[in-house]
Every structure is written in C-alpha cells, then in structure tokens.
Chains A and B, each alone.
Chain A
Amino acid sequence: MRELPRVVITGIGLASPNGDSLAQYRANLLAGKSGVVPYTIRHVGETYAGVCNFDPLRYQTRKEARRGTRAGGISIWCANESLKDAGIDIATRDRSRVGVYIGITEHGNVETENQIHEVAQYNFDLSFWSHHHNPRTVANNPAGEVTLSLGISGPAYCLGGACAAGNLGLIQGMQMLQLGIVDLALGGGVSESIHTFGIFASFRSQGALARHDDAAKASRPFDRDRNGIVVSEGGCLYTLERLDDALARGAKIYGEVRGYFVNSDASDFVLPSSKGQQACIRGALAHARLAPEEIDIVNTHATSTKQGDEVECEAIRSVFTGAPTRVNNTKSYIGHTMGAAGALELAGNLPSFDDGLVHPTINVDNLDPACALDGLVLNEPVRPARKIDRILNMSFGMLGINSAVIVERFRN
C-alpha cells in the first residue's frame, strides 16, 4: 500500500469545564481540580454537570450568539482558539482548501426541547414555532457555524458517533489531509448536551446518572461506589496539517497522529463489549505498527458506570498486561463531555510529551478490585522513569461504536 502523508497536530483550541485553554486545563488536571458543579435543568431539577465558562462574545457578536446554537458557539470558540494557537491567519489561506470535521454525540435535542417548551405556553399553536428551528437543528450546524465565522468554504460537516465522536472528527481531518482534499483541517468534537433535559432524564431512567453529596466527587471512574455519569458540555478542535506543510512554515508541533481504529460491537444498543473494545485497541496498534509496550499512556473512556468501567478494564488488561503503560481517566475531573470527550481528553494528555507527567484519575477513594489495572495512575500525577512518547486515547459510544487514536511525540 502507498505510504500516506504524515499528519501532525499544530494547534489546539478547547473549552473544558475546568479550563478555556490547554495551559489552564492541564494545570487543573495536574492539580486535581474538578469542573463539575451543581446544576439545575427543567423537569429534572437539581443535578450535577460540567459547565464551560469561556467568553462566547470573544469571537461572536451578540446577534450571532443569539441566532446560533450552544454547540455552534463552542465550536466557533474552539476553531478560533485553535488557529490562533497554530499561528495561522485564516484570511491568508485558500479557504476553499480548509475542512472542518466535528464529532457530535447528538445535535438538535436542545433546540427541539426549547421549541416544544415555547409552543406549550401557547397551547401548541405552531405559529409560535421558530423559523430558527431547522438551521439550528440540522446535524451540520456546529461545523456550518464555524464556516460562517471564519469564511471557510471547504468541506465542513459533523460526524455523529455517539460518545466516540471526538476521535472521529480528528480521524476524518487526518484522512482528508492524506487524500489531498484539504490542506488544513480543524477536527475534534463538541457537546452542548447539558442544555437538553432529555439526556439527563434518560441516564437517570437507566440508573446511570451520577449521585453524590459533593459535585466535585460525583464523577469517579474505577471507584467501588461509583454510580453513574456526570453530563458535561465542552469542545476541542485540533488544527491538523500534513507534516511537510507544518515544517515548511516552522509550525509548533504537538505530536503526530500515528494511527487510529474504529469498529462496532454489533451486540447491544447500550451495553459495551470488552471483545469489541479489545479489537479496537489492537486495530489501532496494528494501524500504527506498534506493540502494546510502546504505548506510554492509555486515556480511558470510563464514564463512572458500574458495568462500563469494568468492561473497559477487562479490555485494557487483555492487551496491556505486562506492559509498562500508565492508565488514566479525564472524566473524573470534567464529567462526560459526550461528543467532545475523545478530543478533549486526548488534549489534556498531550502536554505529557513536554512535562513528563501523567495526570491521574481522581476521586478513587476505594479502588474497585474489578478495575485494579497495572499502571492505573490514582489521585496524584506520576513521572514515569521512561520518557513519554505515545498516547492511546479511547472513546466508545452507544450502539457499540469504539474508537482509538494514537498520538506520538514528533520526531523528524
């Protein structure tokens, strides 16, 4: 098979419940600082959520923010921040050769609920149904809002991949660069899910919505007493370029996307499959031509549900037993950022190439024996003796979608 061009990450723009920039986010991951807070949403009442605090008016007018969606606003923030971080002035580029690929768990629930709430006040008279409903709910809305913000006229769309979606945006960007269809790609994922009561209500009906006296401790993957998911909003978009282009302009390089894999369990609507996850991890290793012992950090998907965490640990154990690999988790700090999770959680680990530290998974008071993995980094950061060169990032989603991405320290 023909060798495809190498693709590197040259910019990161993010909105996390515990940070609006990579530096702030990383500092909070190393300091064990949660971004989960008490949160109230109609019909559900008091619960917890990861809420972002970036300034939406930095890159949008008030009218643009009013007309668009929260997912669009998060995407615009991340896209602008990412390009700024990459040192790229988009106005100097051929914007027909720029692509935008945004992973989403779901999109449109927020606006649909809002409209139904609105017309209910008018006895369901549909003359009160907003003309903004369709442009806000189409599945390409977040990517489309980015194109409007930046004048990007290349291929831009969203990828629906449940909670595996963040990785999918990154993968799609890489593929479009390798195929030569675009020269610059923004890829990652976003989530506005805290603004739809339906997501909370459905997890609660499933017995999978986190409960705890302390918001900061509600999301606690691998803890014996974990009881469910904290729903969060957020986003992360990577600036991706072919290596030659990045080198030619002297770009700062965060890492090279070395390999990836996406597969399907084909076994259940909701329940994960260790077998499918193992196949996904092994697929990514094979795609990157790496052995398990060459992976330094595995960022787990674990969402703090009883079964999900156990199943994932079983998959990791089957592949990495005997390897010096460290294992951590980001949802313990920020909850589950849904479509953003894959991209955002990878971003939190990338600074390890420079600072040599592995951030821990926090909130583990009593480690569940079923989740006791070799290399699990608990509650405090560690500095492995070996240099950190490769990170494997996992994201899984409903209907059995699994994704894994491997990013390597850049070496020319």
Chain B
Amino acid sequence: MTRDEIVIAIKDIIATIAPDEEVGSLAMDVRLRDQIELDSMDFLDIVMELRKRYGVQVPEEDYMQLATLQGCVDYLGPKLESKSLVLTALKG
C-alpha cells in the first residue's frame, strides 16, 4: 500500500464502524475524535479491524499514535507497505 492508500484504508475502517459520519473530508492533522464522534469502544473497533483486515497488532501503549490520520499513516506505514488495500464501506 502507498501512503495515499493507507489513508483510504483508515477512512474505510472508520466508515465501517461509524457509518453515519462523512469521512471524505477528514483533516490529516486534527485529532479524529475532534472531527467525528468516536468513543473508546469505536477506537477498539479500529484496532480490531486493523487486526482482521491486515493482521496488524497495535499494542495498547501505541494507541496514541493513531490519534490523527497523519499519525495513522506514519505509524502504520511500515506495517502496511506490503499489504493490499481492503475496502468494505467505501467500495464502489
């Protein structure tokens, strides 16, 4: 996956767990929780989806790295570069 694809991958996961939110216009550097309604259970859903879709394990001490989209790209980049993009919510 390229960095752009990683952004799409994260947005697709968010669109899956928060289907009422508009993910297209999410800013890269603003905390996700300040842009859309996401609580701690949703955050655990994001971690679960990363595990299911890409086999990526995010240890609890690294959760803060996923606070913004840019943080997600930086943190997940090396873990996802060999993986293929999986789309569910944003398909088509």
**Complex alpha-carbon distance, A67 and B41, angstroms:** 9
CB–CB B18/A63 < 8 A = yes
* Interface residues on chain A, size class: 10 to 19
Question: Number of A-B pairs whose CB atoms are under 8 Å?
Answer: 23
A269 adjacent to chain B (CB < 8 Å): no
**Complex alpha-carbon distance, A128 and B41, angstroms:** 14
CB–CB B41/A132 < 8 A = yes
A130 adjacent to chain B (CB < 8 Å): yes
Main secondary structure of the interface of B (DSSP, over half): helix
Q: Which residues of A contact B20 (CB under 8 A)?
A: 61-63
**Complex alpha-carbon distance, A128 and B45, angstroms:** 10
Distance in angstroms from A272 CB to nearest chain B CB is: 42
A127 adjacent to chain B (CB < 8 Å): yes
Distance in angstroms from B41 CB to nearest chain A CB is: 6
CB–CB B51/A128 < 8 A = yes
A411 adjacent to chain B (CB < 8 Å): no
Residues 77-130 (chain A) with a chain B CB within 8 angstroms: 122, 127-128, 130
CB–CB B48/A128 < 8 A = yes
Residues 31-62 (chain B) with a chain A CB within 8 angstroms: 37, 41, 44-45, 48, 51-52, 57
Given known pairs A61-B20, A62-B19, A63-B19, the reply for A131 and B41 (CB within 8 Å) is yes
Q: Which residues of B contact A128 (CB under 8 A)?
A: 48, 51-52
Partner of B57, one of A62, A66, A127: A127
Residues 1-53 (chain B) with a chain A CB within 8 angstroms: 17-20, 37, 41, 44-45, 48, 51-52
Distance in angstroms from A318 CB to nearest chain B CB is: 54
Q: Which residues of B contact A62 (CB under 8 A)?
A: 19-20
Residues of B within 8 A of A (CB): 17-20, 37, 41, 44-45, 48, 51-52, 57
Q: Which 6 A-B pairs give the minimum distances between C-beta atoms?
A: A62-B19, A61-B20, A131-B44, A62-B20, A63-B20, A63-B18
